[in-house]
């Protein structure tokens, strides 16, 4: 056990400060502090020595230099059993500091609330992290506390050990402290990388807040957890069982599609991270009905994501089949009441979630792949009409819709669309021709169209041979959108003209592996 005689306290977040001061007083622990924390301690009517009085050195540089003093850091870093250290402390009239209670300037909060670079820079804490690192390094003798949530544990420890702390407790707090300093520095580092548009620095630092540990990963023998870069996780669960690793994987897939659709329009149904039905019909109920019609068998046990607020009428329809998760951009009270009738159904509100320019990361073998997100906004200039037959406005809009959906389908991907809704999706095949056949098979199984119906197709990459394109056209497809780049592009254009098929080339490819 290490009896605590002296503590230094420096806090930006002064939450629950009174509770810890009461315990320090009880165990006759001397307190040193500065700035706003010193004023708050005095305001709460507890004894405290100001840092400048303790060091006999006034704060300088507008408070940038307060605790950066040998008397502070020697007191924290000295080895209590080292005779030389004890001798040097005595020679310099320095005293041991046994407890460091510090949290940092709110850099991350400031970053989220202003673009003022000078203000952001001033909220990079120097003295706080320096004291915390020193105390964490010297955990054999010093206790370090970095979060108000640790106060209760410290109080219990001090009361149990009569004003002291155990080595086990100090080591645990040290581990937490190094996590805090590493996280703090990683946020700062990433801010500067973003400022200089350095997407791939020589050293890449990832950070995140633990949202929750999951029951297991993709399978029961795997462990899993979810982290968020944002301390305030924007996805809110309103009802149902805890979400699983697979649930989250499907949810992210569904939301990636939903948030790319026109504002307040679109229903997305996902199964095993692949869409099995999507519609952007303006009518909410019809949108869901058309998305479900694309592949009602695959939709069973899937996830439905609505890019609009879910109302009572839609809730009644959603409750007619078994679903794992329902997501809405808000859910009205009557709809929520109806959906809650199913005890285990997970209900999520994603209205505060927005697409942003993040990076996708895949890890394996102690290495990780990093790339920018494929969330490019499509415009007419990204495409070229290469066939003699030209699309009308509605057909062109459906082609763009199909191509947008296609980039969220596992490659090789083929998407068939009719009137703002998918009618067949072929995904995850080694052969593009097989994806064509699967999409056509789905369409014929669940939809029946007249000869004059406008069925259009999208492919995430070019057709390496004419067979896939020919298969689509022979099944009734009247327009195709695909990336260019094949050595057989001219053959495909020629075939399109011979069959009076609309053909549009994209300048970008959209594999999804």
pLDDT digits (tens, 9 = 90+) for 466-482: 898 999 998 989 999 99
According to CATH, what is the number of the domain 235-349?
3.40.140.20
| Torsions phi, psi for 348 (to 5 deg) | -125, 145
% the chain with pLDDT above 70: 99
User: What does the pLDDT read at residue 315?
Assistant: 96
429 vs 142: CA distance, rounded Å: 59
User: What does the pLDDT read at residue 461?
Assistant: 86
Q: Count the Cβ atoms, other than its own, within 10 Å of residue 268.
A: 32
**Residue 91: is it exposed, middle or buried by C-beta count within 10 angstroms (0-12/13-18/19+)?**
exposed
What average pLDDT does this structure show over 249-258? 93
Q: Count the Cβ atoms, other than its own, within 10 Å of residue 165.
A: 23
| Torsions phi, psi for 450 (to 5 deg) | -75, 165
What average pLDDT does this structure show over 380-394? 91
Choose between 452 and 493: higher pLDDT: 493
pTM of the model: 0.85
CB 231 within 8 A of CB 211: no
28 vs 39: CA distance, rounded Å: 20
On the question of pLDDT at 509 being above 90, the answer is no
On the question of pLDDT at 206 being above 90, the answer is no
User: What does the pLDDT read at residue 390?
Assistant: 94
H helices of 310-352, where? 312-318, 333-339
348 vs 292: CA distance, rounded Å: 19
124 vs 185: CA distance, rounded Å: 9
On the question of pLDDT at 264 being above 80, the answer is yes
User: What does the pLDDT read at residue 242?
Assistant: 92
Cα separations in angstroms, 313 against 174, 261, 310, 344 = 54, 22, 8, 21
Give 293-327 pLDDT, tens digit per residue: 999 999 999 999 999 999 999 999 999 999 999 99
On the question of pLDDT at 451 being above 80, the answer is no
Give 79-112 pLDDT, tens digit per residue: 998 999 999 999 999 999 999 999 999 998 898 8
On the question of pLDDT at 267 being above 90, the answer is yes
116 vs 37: CA distance, rounded Å: 26
Strands of 143-145's sheet, edge to edge?
49-50, 30-33, 6-10, 99-102, 143-145
User: What does the pLDDT read at residue 452?
Assistant: 56
378 vs 508: CA distance, rounded Å: 10
On the question of pLDDT at 268 being above 90, the answer is yes
145 vs 132: CA distance, rounded Å: 8
Give 278-290 pLDDT, tens digit per residue: 999 999 999 999 9
345 vs 351: CA distance, rounded Å: 19
User: What does the pLDDT read at residue 464?
Assistant: 86
Show Cβ contacts of residue 124 under 8 Å, excluding neighbours closer than 6 positions: 105, 107, 188
Round the CA-based radius of gyration of the chain to a whole number and report it.
31
User: What does the pLDDT read at residue 2?
Assistant: 81
Tokens of 434: 């097989």
**Residue 56: is it exposed, middle or buried by C-beta count within 10 angstroms (0-12/13-18/19+)?**
exposed
**Host H or E run for residue 482:** strand 477-483
Q: Count the Cβ atoms, other than its own, within 10 Å of residue 90.
A: 10
Tokens 């540990």 appear where?
A: 213
Give 334-375 pLDDT, tens digit per residue: 999 999 999 999 999 999 888 776 778 888 888 888 877 878
**Residue 39: is it exposed, middle or buried by C-beta count within 10 angstroms (0-12/13-18/19+)?**
middle
Q: What is the DSSP string of 158-169?
A: HHHTTSEE-HHH
**Domain limits of the chain?**
2-195, 235-349, 380-506
Give 145-193 pLDDT, tens digit per residue: 999 999 999 999 999 999 999 999 999 999 999 999 999 999 999 999 9
State the architecture of 380-506 in CATH terms. Answer: 3-Layer(aba) Sandwich (3.40)
% the chain with pLDDT above 90: 73
CATH superfamily of 2-195: Methylglyoxal synthase-like domain (3.40.50.1380)
User: What does the pLDDT read at residue 357?
Assistant: 67
- The two domains 235-349 and 380-506 share their CATH topology (first three levels equal): yes
User: What does the pLDDT read at residue 323?
Assistant: 95
């Amino acid at each position: 056990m290490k009896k605590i005689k002296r503590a230094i306290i420096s806090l930006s977040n002064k939450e629950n400060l009174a509770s810890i001061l009461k315990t320090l007083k009880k165990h006759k622990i001397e307190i040193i502090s500065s700035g706003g924390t010193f004023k708050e301690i005095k305001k709460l009517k507890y004894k405290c020595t100001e840092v400048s009085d303790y060091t006999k050195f006034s704060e300088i540089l507008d408070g940038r230099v307060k605790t950066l003093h040998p008397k502070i850091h020697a007191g924290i870093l000295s080895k209590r059993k080292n005779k030389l250290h004890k001798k040097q402390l005595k020679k310099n009239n320095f005293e041991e500091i046994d407890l460091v209670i510090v949290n940092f300037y709110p850099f991350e909060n400031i970053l989220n609330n202003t673009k003022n670079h000078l203000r952001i820079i001033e909220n990079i804490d120097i003295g706080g992290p320096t004291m915390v690192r020193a105390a964490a390094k010297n955990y054999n003798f010093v206790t370090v506390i970095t979060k108000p949530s640790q106060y209760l544990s410290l109080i219990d420890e001090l009361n149990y050990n009569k004003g002291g702390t155990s080595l086990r407790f100090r080591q645990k707090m040290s581990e937490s402290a190094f996590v805090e300093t590493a996280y703090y520095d990683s946020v700062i580092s990433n801010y500067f990388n973003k400022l200089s548009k350095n997407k791939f620095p020589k050293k890449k630092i990832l950070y995140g807040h633990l949202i929750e540990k999951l029951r297991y990963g993709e399978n029961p023998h795997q462990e899993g957890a979810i982290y968020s870069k944002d301390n305030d996780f924007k996805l809110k669960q309103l009802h149902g069982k805890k979400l699983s690793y697979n649930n989250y994987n499907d949810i992210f897939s569904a939301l990636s599609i939903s948030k790319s659709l026109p504002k307040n329009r679109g229903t997305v149904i996902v199964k095993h991270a692949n869409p099995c039905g999507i519609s952007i019909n303006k009518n909410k109920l019809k949108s869901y009905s058309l998305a479900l019609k694309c592949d009602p068998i695959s939709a069973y046990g899937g996830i439905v994501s609505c890019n609009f607020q879910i109302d009572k009428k839609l809730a009644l329809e959603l409750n007619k089949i078994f679903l794992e998760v329902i997501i809405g951009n808000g859910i009205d009270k009557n709809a929520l009441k109806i959906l809650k009738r199913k005890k285990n159904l997970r209900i999520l509100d994603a209205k505060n979630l927005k697409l942003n320019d993040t990076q996708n990361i895949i890890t394996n073998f102690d290495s990780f792949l990093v790339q920018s997100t494929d969330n490019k906004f499509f415009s007419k200039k990204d495409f070229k009409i290469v066939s003699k037959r030209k699309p009308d406005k509605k057909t062109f809009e459906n082609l763009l819709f199909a191509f947008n959906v296609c980039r969220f389908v596992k490659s090789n991907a083929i998407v068939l669309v009719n009137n703002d809704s998918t009618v067949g999706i072929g995904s995850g095949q080694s052969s593009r021709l097989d994806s064509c056949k699967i999409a056509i098979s789905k369409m014929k199984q669940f939809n029946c169209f007249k000869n004059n119906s406008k069925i259009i197709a999208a492919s995430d990459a070019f057709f390496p041979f004419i067979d896939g394109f020919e298969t689509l056209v022979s099944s009734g497809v009247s327009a195709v959108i695909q990336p260019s780049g094949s050595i057989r592009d001219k053959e495909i254009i020629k075939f399109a003209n011979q069959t009076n098929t609309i053909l549009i080339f994209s300048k970008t490819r959209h594999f999804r592996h």
